[in-house]
Structure 1
Amino acid sequence: MVHVSNHNQVFNFETVDDLYRFLTYSEKRVPLISAHRGGPAADYPENAIETFQRIAYKTPAIIECDIALTKDSALVLMHDETLQRTTTGKGRVGRHTLEELQELNLKDVDGKVTKYKIPTLEETLLWGVGKVIFTLDVKRNVPYRLVIDAIRKAKAEAYVVVITYSADQAAVVHNLAPELMISASIRSAEDLIRLNDRDVPDTRIVAFVGTSPIDKKVTDLLHQHGILCILGTIGNLDRQAMQRGEQVYAEFIENGADILSTDRPLEAAKSLDYYIRKRGLSSPYIN
């Protein structure tokens, strides 16, 4: 079991209804960062609880992390299908038991071995209550049902969003767990219609609008439906902010993004913090 120190509560979600309200668009909404793969840095590996804690100490954050399946059907946090890049192990994740994986150590972004271990989804969810909101990227070959069972077992419905990549996947998750929030890819009005046609309600959706500058028509439409927009700044847009200055992150918010999924969470958070204070924004759900 991972032992990390506890710290003050960041989010106050008593019930899943609180999460729905928090993730519904209004002009007074507080923009947020989403730390891609949990916000790895030197000495802090991706998909590690200690890395999530480092971010959560510094800013209210959504933690995006990746769910993989072991040989003995345990759910662990791991992005790649193989172990080499991020751990001291070799071979495919799915060919190892949980016990074997727990012998390994995680590597940081520079390939340096750390003392940190591969966390299970269960211990991650139990750690996260009150501290972060999770968006769970369920890897191929991992049944949604197993992930939903783990969320329910940890009573984590009020601080978890499940990522889907198509209207069909969104419908599968919604049918299995109508109470859960879903991140759905929406780049056009047609994408929203496809979700509505499959009976996925607007109140359960946050929209991933892509990784390139936003189409204002799309974000305006989504906002009219009460849907928050996640812009992926990972890649080009993060590089743009590095070149032009961190205020670029606030410009993305001005242009219609509500959440920035970024590889530079602390830099983006600083820019958003300035934006939030300048506009006097606050939420009853953030301490």
Structure 2
Amino acid sequence: MNTKYFTIIAFMLFVSGVFSTHAQNRLDFLLNTLKDGGKSDYVMIFAHRGDWRNAPENSLQAYKSCIDAGFDGIEIDVQMTKDSIIVMMHDQTIDRTTTGTGKVSDYTWAELKDLKLKSPIGVITRQRIPTFDEVLELAKGRILIQVDKWQPIKEKVIEVAKRHGCLEQIILRGTTDSKHIAKTYGKLLDGVNYIPVLVCKGEGDDEKLDDFMDNIKTSVISLSFTRDDFPVIDRAKEIKDRGFRIWYNSLWAEFNGGHDDEMAMDDPENSYGWLLKKRANIIFSDHPFLLDAYLKKIGRR
């Protein structure tokens, strides 16, 4: 082996090792932070459908933008094709976001893969519908992945995530009680980050919260509320003191009593600031760049 060839091989091995170490360090940070019970001031950002304001929703471009920005998680929507390939699509149909029409489940992957995605204002782009496999390879070791619409295809989601070695990066959320979870999923959720969501109603909220904290293996509790005066919201300090991070959804008013991303554009203190006063340390946002700038300004990232 000549010296030049040996040098090239050595350099390639070195670069590969650097990237691998960086990815592992990043994943360690994400998982340690997710499970630290909110002991640090760091607020995690999860981007709804990726950076969909600047790229087609649920596109690789939208996800890569979030990875490059250093966000902590992306939310993805999954549907399954006629030939059992998981693809990224919020709706059951492809009409709204692609150049095609009809149900995802009526198409094979070969029939879908050449369609083009549309931008948020309906402009046809060069982006294509990604598969779950492609998203996992893009995100591996780099960002957490909250999978939405997972219940109908739960076994397949877990199978694919395991195959790519990404199971610990996956986050699944649900609103059901501990007995239903145990009966429905059994050991299927082992190794996955499962987050229970308390949809506040005003009655029965305390009992549901106690069930989540006492009986579900999780590091995060999520609260969703149409009004900001539900008494259970004032238990946020207790939730944190019990060792859970608290996840709030800032997408639109029905999830946060009006303290949403739209309000944050003009009045961030009464939007993101209000959520932080209620002990938020994970925020699920439609405006992740706006949220990131605000959190950095106040020293929370």
Q: TM > 0.5 between the two?
A: yes
Amino acid at match of 2:42: V
Identify the match of residue 158 of structure 2 among 148, 154, 163: 148
Give the secondary structure class of the aligned counterpart of 1:38: coil
Q: Distance in 2 between matches of 1:28 and 1:196?
A: 20
Q: Distance in 1 between matches of 2:52 and 2:35?
A: 25
Checking the alignment, whether the CA contact within 8 Å between 1:247 and 1:271 is kept in structure 2 is no
Per-residue CA deviations over 1:169-226 (Å, capped at 9, x if unaligned) read 64444621322111211243322333467x522xx24222115548542322321221
Q: Distance in 1 between matches of 2:33 and 2:265?
A: 33
1:223 is matched with: 240
Checking the alignment, whether the CA contact within 8 Å between 1:233 and 1:261 is kept in structure 2 is yes
**Range moving further from structure 2, 18-27 or 129-138:** 18-27
For structure 2, the residue ranges without an aligned partner over 5 or more in a row are 1-18, 254-259
Give the secondary structure class of the aligned counterpart of 2:52: coil
How far apart are residue 89 of structure 1 and its match? 0.8
Q: Distance in 2 between matches of 1:264 and 1:161?
A: 20
Checking the alignment, whether the CA contact within 8 Å between 1:170 and 1:195 is kept in structure 2 is no
1:13 is matched with: 27
How far apart are residue 79 of structure 1 and its match? 0.4
Q: Distance in 1 between matches of 2:278 and 2:82?
A: 45
Checking the alignment, whether the CA contact within 8 Å between 1:138 and 1:163 is kept in structure 2 is no
* TM, length-normalised to structure 1: 0.82
2:263 is matched with: 240
1:69 is matched with: 80
CA separation of 1:74/1:56 partners in 2, compared to 1, >3 Å: closer, same or farther?
same
How far apart are residue 28 of structure 1 and its match? 1.4
Superposition pairs for residues 132-281 of structure 1, below 5 Å? Answer: 132-139=143-150, 142-167=152-177, 170-171=181-182, 172-173=184-185, 175-186=187-198, 187=200, 188-195=205-212, 199-201=215-217, 204-210=218-224, 212=226, 213=228, 216-236=233-253, 237-245=260-268, 248-276=271-299
How far apart are residue 132 of structure 1 and its match? 1.2
How far apart are residue 111 of structure 1 and its match? 0.8
Per-residue CA deviations over 1:222-245 (Å, capped at 9, x if unaligned) read 212212111111113112112324
Checking the alignment, whether the CA contact within 8 Å between 1:39 and 1:51 is kept in structure 2 is yes
Amino acid at match of 1:40: W
Superposition pairs for residues 109-124 of structure 1, below 5 Å? Answer: 109-124=120-135
Amino acid at match of 2:165: K
**How well do the aligned residues superpose, as a CA RMSD in angstroms?**
2.7
1:106 is matched with: 117
**Range moving further from structure 2, 188-197 or 231-240:** 188-197
Superposition pairs for residues 23-62 of structure 1, below 5 Å? Answer: 23-42=35-54, 44-62=55-73
Question: Is 1:87 the equivalent of 2:131?
Answer: no
Amino acid at match of 2:234: K
Amino acid at match of 1:209: L
Q: Distance in 2 between matches of 1:177 and 1:135?
A: 14
Q: Distance in 2 between matches of 1:244 and 1:14?
A: 34
Amino acid at match of 1:208: S
Amino acid at match of 1:25: G
Q: Distance in 2 between matches of 1:174 and 1:228?
A: 24
Q: Which has the larger radius of gyration?
A: 2
CA separation of 1:267/1:174 partners in 2, compared to 1, >3 Å: closer, same or farther?
farther
Per-residue CA deviations over 1:137-188 (Å, capped at 9, x if unaligned) read 1256x32111111111111123221122323664444621322111211243
Q: Distance in 1 between matches of 2:163 and 2:150?
A: 20
How many residue pairs end up in the alignment? Answer: 266
Q: Distance in 1 between matches of 2:284 and 2:216?
A: 23
1:284 is matched with: none
Give the secondary structure class of the aligned counterpart of 2:94: coil
Amino acid at match of 1:50: Q
Checking the alignment, whether the CA contact within 8 Å between 2:67 and 2:139 is kept in structure 1 is no
The percent of aligned pairs where both chains have the same amino acid is 24
